[in-house]
Amino acid sequence: MNNVPIFAKPGMACRTSKPQCLLQVSQWHTARAARRGCGRAKGLLMYVLILPGLWNSGPQHWQTQWEARHAEWKRVLQRDWATPDRAEWVETLRLNIAACRHPPVLVAHSLGCALVAHWACAAHRGAIAGAFLVAPSDVDAPSYPPGTTGFMPMPMHRLHFPSRVVASRNDPYCSVTRAAAFSSAWGSDIAWVDEAGHINADAGFGPWPEGERMLLEFCARVQG
C-alpha cells in the first residue's frame, strides 16, 4: 500500500480533505521512526501507540492529552477517519507496529478496540506487549454509526497478548452485557468506570489522570 501514513506529530492536525498533509506527516515520521522507534513510556522500557476510533480523537480527548504529555507516545494516523475500511486500518496498524524497535502497548479507544481485535486475527505472537482497550464500540449494534466497512462482526476470539478493557456502565455505543462479553472472549481484564458515557471528551474525559494511572500500571505489568 503506497503512502500509508505512520505517525502524527503532536500538534500537527491532518484532515482527510488534505491528503498532502498526510504525506508530509508520513515522510517526517518515517525518518524519525528509523532513528528512534515508537513512543516509549517515561520511566518504563515500554513503547506506546495510540489508536483513536471513528472520526479521530480531538484536542480535548484524553488520547490527545496524553500524547501531548508524553512526547514519545505516537498516534497511529489513518488516512480516512470518517469512513474507515477495516483492511486499510489493519494494514496501517501493521506497518506502525513493524516500525517499532520493541513490542509496543496499543492504547485504543472505541473503534480502535475493534481494530486491535481484527489485527490480532493475523498477527504474530510477540508483535505487541499488550493492549489497553477503552470503551470498545459494539460494531454489531443497530445503533452503531454508519460508514464503516468490514468491521462487522466483532472478533470474539482470545487475544494472544495481555489486555485490559476499560468500560463504562452507560456507554451509548456498547451495553454492559456486550462489554463484558468482549472482555471474556478476548481474555481481558476489565475495569468498570461508572456513568462515564463513551469515556471521551464529550463525557468529560479530557486529561483523565485515573485512566493514565491505570495505563502506566498495565505497562509496568506487561513490560517484562
pLDDT of residue 33: 38
Question: Domain 14-222 has what CATH class?
Answer: alpha beta
Q: Could you state, in order of their start, the residue ranges of all structural domains in the chain?
A: 14-222
pLDDT of residue 43: 56
Phi-psi label, residue 183: left if phi above 0, alpha if psi -120 to 50, beta otherwise: alpha
pLDDT of residue 65: 96
pLDDT digits (tens, 9 = 90+) for 186-221: 999 999 999 999 999 999 999 999 999 999 999 999
**Residue 5 or residue 128, greater confidence:** 128
pLDDT of residue 223: 74
Q: How many other C-beta atoms are found inside a 10 Å radius of the C-beta of residue 6? A: 23
pLDDT of residue 4: 36
Cα–Cα distance, 68 to 189 (Å, whole number): 27
Question: Which is it for strands 47-51 and 39-40: parallel, antiparallel or unpaired?
Answer: antiparallel
Is the confidence at residue 22, as pLDDT, over 50? Answer: no
DSSP string of the chain?
Answer: -TT---EEPTT----TT-HHHHHHHHHHHHHHHHHH-SEE-TTSS-EEEEE--TT---TTSHHHHHHHHSTT-EEE--S-SSS-BHHHHHHHHHHHHHT-SSPEEEEEETHHHHHHHHHHTTPPTTS-SEEEEES---TTSTTSPS--BS-PSPP-S--SS-EEEEEETT-TTS-HHHHHHHHHHHT-EEEEETT-TTSSGGGT-SS-HHHHHHHHHHHHHH--
pLDDT digits (tens, 9 = 90+) for 132-167: 999 999 999 998 999 999 999 999 999 999 999 999
User: Per the omega criterion (within 30 degrees of 0), is the bond before 5 cis?
Assistant: no
Share of the chain above pLDDT 70, in %: 79
pLDDT of residue 45: 52
pLDDT digits (tens, 9 = 90+) for 184-195: 999 999 999 999
In terms of Cβ atoms closer than 10 Å to its own Cβ (0-12, 13-18, 19+), residue 177 is: exposed
Q: What is the mean pLDDT of the chain?
A: 84
* C-alpha grid cell, residue 188: 481481558
Taking residues 78-91, report their average pLDDT: 98
**Residue 20 or residue 8, greater confidence:** 8
Instruction: Please report which confidence band the pLDDT of residue 224 belongs to, taking 50, 70 and 90 as the band edges.
Output: low
Instruction: Please report which confidence band the pLDDT of residue 71 belongs to, taking 50, 70 and 90 as the band edges.
Output: confident
What global pTM score does this model have?
Answer: 0.82
pLDDT digits (tens, 9 = 90+) for 34-55: 334 467 665 555 689 999 999 9
